[in-house]
Amino acid sequence: MAIEKISPDDSKNYNNDDILVVRNLKKYYPVSKFSLFKSRAYVKAVDDVSFTIKRGTTMGLVGESGCGKTTVGRTILRLHEVTDGQVLFDGKDLAKIPPKELRKMRPQMQMIFQDPYSSLSPRMPVGEIIGEAVKEHKIVPKSEYRSYILKVMRDCGLQPHYYYRYPHEFSGGQRQRISIARAVALKPKFIICDEPLSALDVSIQAQIINLMKDLQEQYGYTYLFISHDLSVVKYLSDTIGVMYLGNLIEMGDKNKIFSNPMHPYTKALLSAVPVSDPDVKMNRIILKGDIPSPVNPPSGCKFRTRCPYAMPICAEKAPVFKEYEEGHQVACHLYSQD
Amino acid sequence: MGLIDIFKRKKIEGVDDTMYLTLREERRISKENNKIIRKFEREKNRKNVPEEEYLTQMRDPSNVVEFEDLHTYFFTDVGTVKSVNGVSFDIPQGKIVGVVGESGCGKSVTSLSLMQLVQAPQGQIVKGSIRYQDSNGKCYEITKMPKDKMLKIRGKDIAMIFQEPMTSLNPVFKIGEQMDEVVLLHVEGSTPESAKARSIEMLKLVGIAMPEKVYNSYPHELSGGMRQRVMIAMALSCDPRLIIADEPTTALDVTIQAQILELLRDVKNRINGSIMLITHDLGVIAEMADYVVVMYAGRIIEKGTVREIFHDPKHPYTIGLMRSKPTGETRDNRLYSIKGQVPNPINMPDHCYFYNRCDKAMNVCSRDYPDMVDFSSTHCAACHLYYGEGLQEQNKGKE
């Protein structure tokens, strides 16, 4: 999973195993008006992020709120325009693709949103919510439409008589099932799950996790799973990326990240998860302070203001994102940068 | 099978879980509710209530608060919601009591009942008692306490930290003004200067680096973690005997959550108060609490010390909750999940509320609500598995 030096347009030497290749993705939001005399200030929500997802696997993206993980997801789907960088989906650069073709690609990549209470239209019955895009993209012939929707609903654990009901009649867990059914109905290859569990109760979370896993086994979906709940990410993902203030600071195989976290932030993050056992006393690393403002991030390494191991060099130079063992990359000055 | 057939069948079997009311029925219910509500409100609004009426005795003088058979109902137009339905537990001095349960199980309403903050007039404490003991050893019956007397306790002796620090701070006042208000109201003989000194001292106590600057800023200028610190500082400013923390870390990130939990524990030791910690995160409970109360659909289904609950859970719901949390060891194993969902709060069944979702449901479970079974002096659970007919049925099954 190393990042090779790449020429701007090399969508040809693309590995068929990789469904999604993100290279140097950047997304800046302007925060001040255009002026002749001052340089424009930007929030660097996503600043130079690169990763690859293999077909049929799950990548977990973790980080605190405001670190840009949701923006990564939305920019990949081009719900926000890309500022710079490449998003190769099945070999096509989504960042540059013309709108008409992008529209044709849309069914292949879907998104499940965080809040099932605001992401479903209150004025549409469930059948229509799930089926609207199916009709639009002509996924199945008209004659099979209804039976297809009912099949999708059954797959997602929804009773057929929910077809004519409205979202307000359902609980949070059921609504999240509807959101999943809506995404799955388009026969996508790739689904971005943006904190799909955080609005749900523990017992319902387990049901949804199992549903997502079953669907993946059955249909071979690829997930990008965005979450701040490390235990869930650990359970679902194959690879994990840790983000901090718009940068990917550590990425690698799940087991490697959890057994041998290298970046001080990852260590702190892992130790902060409460354990459901009163006798286990964690040796906890408690970070001081809050995440800095993304408009004026600290110079050099962005984490240095909260880092227990900060050195003089951290303020001068941003660390390089480098591979230290196979399938484990870190950006930190604690490890040799050569 | 066509779609119409499916509808027909469902209607006949009566499996439909939603309830539809006609307008006439709704009007009838609302009329009845009004009658009941008016009775409660009249009782509450009496003036010059003699003190004897709400003074009582604690069962155990080492407790700060005792809940006994508390019933808090909401009289809505679609029916009566029994949010809290017979809850009894104690909060001992200097301990942390964790209340766990899913959303809608009544854990927040229990704490609001203690503060007399239940959304009136629909919400009413119908039955039961909440006893509170102040620092002089005087015991009050919170359910009978008149509103003006309650003002002296609420915010001073019993303070509350809410889930959303953004919505519980007033956005148009500076932090300082909001904090001073508490001190000026509750501490006798306080002047604006002494209040300010107190507020800044409290901000320092909760680990805010520049207390003077925060004192003069507005809530929107602070981050979520800082706001929650301010909330804690505000709760502490009158040396409370009990802090109710209603999901204090749910809106925060893990690293900030660790900071806040550390702070809460530290603060508790410093003021020697008790904490009632309400959360749905079992990890937080395991880490913080001394005693645990597990609630389900308005009732306590299991309570005990933290070790008893985590090492030897008895009720199938508690066991299910523990198992449904991914520990991340293996991805190939299916995660255990409790099937179904919480029953409709308006039409609660007579039998065990967990019957439909329980793996171990027996015949007896569908007949009556189980009694509390004691396993030790502190540990008890409400389940048919452990006594009488249910236990026999279990043993028979084994043979």
Contacts of B181 (CB under 8 A, 6+ apart): none
CA B119/CA B129 separation, integer angstroms = 18
Selected for mutation to probe chain B from A59, A276, A293 (highest B CB count within 10 Å) is A276
Q: Provide the chain A residues 207-246 that lie in CB contact (below 8 A) with chain B.
A: 207, 209-210, 213, 228, 230-232, 234-236
Give the model's pLDDT for residue A12. Answer: 52
- Tell me if B259 and A286 make a contact (CB, 8 A cut-off): yes
Considering only CB atoms, which chain A residues are within 8 Å of B3? 146, 150, 160, 163
- For A271-325, give the DSSP string: HTSPPS-TT------PPPS-PPPSSSPPSSSTTTTT-TT--HHHHHSPPPEEEEE
Considering only CB atoms, which chain B residues are within 8 Å of A289? 209
- The residue among A50, A33, A76 whose CA lies nearest residue A190 is A76
Q: Provide the chain A residues 117-176 that lie in CB contact (below 8 A) with chain B.
A: 146, 150, 160-161, 163, 165, 169, 171-174
Percent of chain A exceeding pLDDT 90 equals: 38
A105: how many CB neighbours lie within 10 A of its CB? 16
Query: What pairing do the DSSP bridges indicate for beta strands B274-279 and A328-331?
Result: unpaired
Of B223, B280, B286, the CB nearest to A275: B286
- Tell me if B331 and A236 make a contact (CB, 8 A cut-off): yes
Whole-angstrom CA distances from B21 to A124, A164, B27, B77, B222 are 22, 18, 10, 10, 46
Q: State both tokens at A224.
A: 């990008």
Q: What angle do CA B272, B274, B276 make, to 5 degrees?
A: 160
- Tell me if A276 and B286 make a contact (CB, 8 A cut-off): yes
A219: how many CB neighbours lie within 10 A of its CB? 13
Q: How many CA atoms lie within 13 A of A278 on its CB side?
A: 17
Q: State both tokens at A142.
A: 């008209």
B284 and A204 in contact (C-beta within 8 Å)? Answer: no
Q: How many CA atoms lie within 13 A of A208 on its CB side?
A: 28
In this predicted model, what pLDDT tens digit does every residue of A205-241 receive, in sequence order? 888 999 999 999 999 999 999 988 888 888 889 999 9
Selected for mutation to probe chain A from B335, B342, B354 (highest A CB count within 10 Å) is B335
- Tell me if B337 and A276 make a contact (CB, 8 A cut-off): no
Give me the numbers of helices (H) and strands (E) for chain A, helices first please: 10, 12
Of A204, A274, A277, the CB nearest to B281: A274
Q: What is the Cα gyration radius of chain B?
A: 23
> A22: exposed, middle or buried (C-beta count within 10 Å: 0-12, 13-18, 19+)?
buried
Give the model's pLDDT for residue B399. Answer: 64
Residue of B nearest to A278 (CA): B286
What's the gap between Cα A322 and its chain centre?
Answer: 21
Whole-angstrom CA distances from A90 to A52, A93, A100, B125, B306 are 11, 8, 17, 61, 51
Paired residues of A282 in beta bridges? none
Contacts of B333 (CB under 8 A, 6+ apart): none
In this predicted model, what pLDDT tens digit does every residue of A260-306 receive, in sequence order? 999 999 999 888 888 878 787 767 888 887 778 778 888 889 898 88
Q: How many CA atoms lie within 13 A of A99 on its CB side?
A: 3
CA A251/CA A62 separation, integer angstroms = 10
A269 and B254 in contact (C-beta within 8 Å)? Answer: yes
Contacts of B355 (CB under 8 A, 6+ apart): B349, B361, B365, B366
Cis peptide before B121 (omega within 30 of 0): yes
Residue of A nearest to B317 (CA): A203
Of A160, A165, A203, the CB nearest to B321: A203
- The residue among A32, A29, A1 whose CA lies nearest residue A15 is A1
Considering only CB atoms, which chain B residues are within 8 Å of A160? 3, 6
Q: How many CA atoms lie within 13 A of B34 on its CB side?
A: 6
CA A331/CA A185 separation, integer angstroms = 39
In this predicted model, what pLDDT tens digit does every residue of A233-248 receive, in sequence order? 888 899 999 999 889 9
Chain B nearest C-alpha distance from A56 (Å): 14
Q: State both tokens at B18.
A: 């939603």
- Tell me if B254 and A269 make a contact (CB, 8 A cut-off): yes
Stronger pLDDT, A333 or B120, i.e. the higher one? A333
Mean pLDDT of A24-43: 82
- Tell me if B254 and A235 make a contact (CB, 8 A cut-off): no
pLDDT (tens, 9 = 90+) of chain B, 399 residues, equals 455 544 444 443 444 445 567 888 888 989 999 999 999 888 888 888 888 888 888 888 899 999 999 999 999 888 888 899 999 999 999 999 999 988 888 888 999 999 998 887 889 999 999 999 988 888 999 988 888 888 888 888 999 998 877 788 999 999 999 999 999 999 888 899 999 999 999 898 888 888 899 999 999 888 888 888 899 999 888 889 999 999 888 877 888 888 888 888 888 888 888 999 998 888 889 989 999 999 999 999 999 999 999 999 999 999 988 888 876 555 557 788 888 878 877 878 888 899 888 888 888 888 888 989 999 999 999 999 888 887 887 787 766
- Tell me if B324 and A202 make a contact (CB, 8 A cut-off): yes
What are the helix (H) ranges across chain B? 3-13, 23-44, 107-115, 147-153, 165-168, 175-186, 192-205, 211-215, 224-236, 254-271, 282-288, 306-311, 316-323, 388-398
CA A229/CA A243 separation, integer angstroms = 13
- The residue among B181, B158, B152, B184 whose CA lies nearest residue B169 is B181
- Tell me if B282 and A279 make a contact (CB, 8 A cut-off): no
Considering only CB atoms, which chain A residues are within 8 Å of B226? 290
Q: Provide the chain A residues 59-78 that lie in CB contact (below 8 A) with chain B.
A: 64-65
- Tell me if A160 and B3 make a contact (CB, 8 A cut-off): yes
A1: how many CB neighbours lie within 10 A of its CB? 17
Stronger pLDDT, A5 or B27, i.e. the higher one? B27
Q: Burial letters for B117-141: b for 16+ Cβ neighbours within 10 Å, e otherwise?
A: ebeeeebbbbebbbbbbeeeeebbe
Give the model's pLDDT for residue B15. Answer: 42
Considering only CB atoms, which chain B residues are within 8 Å of A172? 103
In this predicted model, what pLDDT tens digit does every residue of A141-188 receive, in sequence order? 999 999 999 999 998 988 888 898 899 888 888 899 999 999 999 999
Contacts of B48 (CB under 8 A, 6+ apart): none
- Tell me if A232 and B326 make a contact (CB, 8 A cut-off): yes
Amino acid at B362: M
Whole-angstrom CA distances from A332 to B191, B319, B389 are 52, 42, 63
Of A160, A172, A231, the CB nearest to B328: A231
Whole-angstrom CA distances from A76 to A5, A27, A28, A109 are 21, 10, 14, 10
- Tell me if B255 and A268 make a contact (CB, 8 A cut-off): yes
Give the model's pLDDT for residue A107. Answer: 92
Q: State both tokens at B186.
A: 């509750």
- Average pLDDT value for chain A: 86
A71 and A49 in contact (C-beta within 8 Å)? Answer: no
Selected for mutation to probe chain B from A114, A201, A257 (highest B CB count within 10 Å) is A201
Selected for mutation to probe chain B from A59, A126, A149, A202 (highest B CB count within 10 Å) is A202
- Tell me if A210 and B6 make a contact (CB, 8 A cut-off): no
B73 and B345 in contact (C-beta within 8 Å)? Answer: no
Q: Provide the chain A residues 250-269 that lie in CB contact (below 8 A) with chain B.
A: 258, 268-269
- For B300-339, give the DSSP string: EEEEEEHHHHHHS--SHHHHHHHHTS---S-SSSPPP---
Considering only CB atoms, which chain B residues are within 8 Å of A174? 341
3-state secondary structure of B125: strand
- Tell me if A206 and B223 make a contact (CB, 8 A cut-off): no
Chain B nearest C-alpha distance from A202 (Å): 7
Residue of B nearest to A213 (CA): B334
Q: State both tokens at A55.
A: 């077909």
Q: Provide the chain A residues 271-290 that lie in CB contact (below 8 A) with chain B.
A: 271-279, 284, 286-287, 289-290
CA A158/CA A181 separation, integer angstroms = 9
Of A150, A207, A269, the CB nearest to B337: A207
Considering only CB atoms, which chain B residues are within 8 Å of A258? 328
- Tell me if B310 and A287 make a contact (CB, 8 A cut-off): no
Considering only CB atoms, which chain A residues are within 8 Å of B331? 213, 235-236
CA B53/CA B353 separation, integer angstroms = 36
A-B contacts (CB, under 8 Å): 129
Contacts of B275 (CB under 8 A, 6+ apart): B95, B96, B97, B242, B243, B244, B245, B264, B268, B288
Residue of B nearest to A229 (CA): B254
CA A291/CA A318 separation, integer angstroms = 17
